[in-house]
Homo-oligomer: A and B are copies of this chain.
Amino acid sequence: MHEGCTVYQTTQYLTKKWALLVLFELYKGGDDYTRRFSELKESLAGITSKVLSQRLKELEEEGLVGRRVDAEHFPVKSEYFLTEAGLGLIDVIKHLKQWALTYKIDNIDCGNQNCKDCIL
């Protein structure tokens, strides 16, 4: 087993609380996979600013999420979006969904392979 393997590291920050949900919330963000901080916070019922901020920072450092800030005006406007790598990871999780549909009979299948709501 190689030291510091990327896959293992990936699983470590992806499985922190809210991380996957944040990713999927961006995925649901329309054609550009973009959401604002406040939108994410509203959609993810129960998440605190602190944790949302932490997760976004981690995901950004890992290259899964990008960030655009408009500091020209007030209030500041900042947008988060899925990068190509982040989008690629969504595909991996779709494989995981297929696995779950095969071996975990209690899983709910909405019938739509690309459903963005029940991919998780």
Question: Could you tell me which A residues sit within 8 Å of B by CB distance?
Answer: 1-2, 5-8, 10-12, 14-15, 20-21, 24, 63, 84-85, 88-89, 91-93, 95-97, 99-100, 102-104, 106-108, 110, 117-120
Contacts and interface: CB of A to CB of B under 8 A. Distances in A.
A7 B119 contact: yes
Main secondary structure of the interface of A (DSSP, over half): helix
B2 A100 contact: no
Contact of A7 (B84, B85, B100, B110): B100
Contacts of A1: 21, 24, 117-118, 120
Contacts of A118: 1-2, 5
Contacts of A84: 103
